[in-house]
Amino acid sequence: MPQMIPDNRGMNPLLAKLQPYPFERLKQLFATVTPNPALKPISLGIGEPKHATPAFIQEALKASVATGLSAYPATAGEPALRKACAAWLQTRYQLTLDPATQVLPVNGSREALFALTQTVIDPSRPGATVVSPNPFYQIYEGAALLSGAEPYYVPSDPARNFANDWDSVPAEVWARTQLLFVCSPGNPTGAVMPLSEWQKLFALSDQHGFVIASDECYSEIYFREEAPLSGLEAAHQLGRTDFKRLIAFTSLSKRSNVPGLRSGFVAGDAAIIKQFLLYRTYHGSAMSPVVQAASIAAWGDESHVVDNRNQYRTKFAQVTPVLAEVLDVKLPDASFYLWAGVPTGWQSDDAAFAKALYEAESVTVLPGSYLARDFNGSNPGQGRIRMALVAETAECLEAAERIARFVRTHPQKMAPGSSPG
């Protein structure tokens, strides 16, 4: 009788290290719950932009179909797109980068964050480490694990506007770090990192030689007059005009309400971008010419970005005060999330709060502990919930009013097995 061969023979063993995605965990949490059938479901769970895609971007996409599907795209992207990205950097940050060597189009920040990690990490070096914020965008962790590195999680500090406590990282960890993820504006906190923090991280990068990956995909949704500081902008202000060991990521998804377009770019250290382009040549990451045409149009227009930002400002101005009456929450620096503490009576059980809220009010929020990891004895997401205010204002306001009603009628955690009723 022939010997049975295991189904997983030859599979990458690092896949076993991957954790369930937050939304898979949320699905499991809600599996035994029936939401209130008298109420229309409202989801504040997924951070997917819902504002209308501008018509001119749609038209640019349509106009390019006739010619854009007839040839293979170059991995480096068309010169016109790279110039458009560089022109946006000049307009937004007054920075002059070489579009041929310091800018590279990517298929959204998600795939680029993952691919850059595979490019940068040398798993043969003992103790290969990727430093990540905690809580964090899950791609950081998955990319680190599949590269053969181990993540080291740096907690956010509520007492300092949810700034990451970089000083908590031991010197021996920095010494083996190959890549640091920075997310500013932060997901889920919305916190923007100031120049002093950038100066600290650049000094550490110079000392230990690690690359900084600056995730800036929420940079165009902000609530103060001063726009969020970019890592590139910080580097330039500190005299680092070659952007050594720095790569910034930006995307059209949130800025232009085109999450399905999958378009963005990276910019920074030319030497890293050269190697990143080599990796992407084999990875098969070329952007469709049709998408490139629409992207050129999007990067070249700011009026729709201002309009989008104003919509978020109006929405947050109406929703935040309603929630602030019952939750520990305030207007963030930027992004389209509210990062709220659950009521004291719920004993920091964010998952139980989200589950009971869903059952009673048919409103979905994401438990903060699902976005973080237990590390060094604590989970900095525990006791908080993330709310994505991506739908239209009326729907978000109704969700806020339902949440406020729920908290007022259920100020304390319920006994196991009881219904919020």
The residue extents of the domains of the chain are 19-52+304-409, 71-300
Number of CB atoms found within 10 A of residue 90's CB = 12
Give per-10-residue mean pLDDT for the chain (421 aa).
60 95 97 97 96 98 95 96 98 98 97 98 97 97 98 96 96 98 97 97 98 98 96 98 98 97 98 98 95 98 98 98 98 97 97 98 98 96 98 97 98 75 62
3-state secondary structure 21-84: CHHHHHHHHCCCCCCCCCCCCEECCCCCCCCCCCHHHHHHHHHHHHHHCCCCCCCCCCHHHHHH
Question: Does the global pTM surpass 0.85?
Answer: yes
Q: In this structure, is the dihedral angle defined by the CA atoms of residues 222, 225, 228 and 233, taken in order, positive or negative?
A: positive
Residue 251: its H or E element:
strand 246-251
SS3 content of the chain, % helix, strand, coil (to 5): 45, 15, 40
Name which CATH class applies to 71-300: alpha beta
Helix (H, G, I), strand (E, B) or coil at 326: coil
Do the first three CATH levels of 19-52+304-409 and 71-300 match, i.e. the same topology?
no
Q: Are 274 and 101 in contact (CB under 8 A)?
A: yes
DSSP state of 104: E
Phi/psi-derived region of residue 245, left when phi > 0, alpha when psi is between -120 and 50, beta in every other case: left
Amino acid occupying residue 142: G
Residue 154: its H or E element:
strand 150-157
Separation between Cα atoms, residue 405 and residue 187, nearest integer Å: 27
pLDDT recorded at residue 286 = 96
Task: Look up residue 375 and give its two tokens.
Answer: 């590390």
Given the DSSP bridges, would you call strands 246-251 and 337-341 parallel, antiparallel or unpaired? unpaired
pLDDT recorded at residue 299 = 98
Q: In this structure, is the dihedral angle defined by the CA atoms of residues 85, 90, 92 and 95, taken in order, positive or negative?
A: positive
- The CATH number of the domain covering residues in 19-52+304-409: 3.90.1150.10
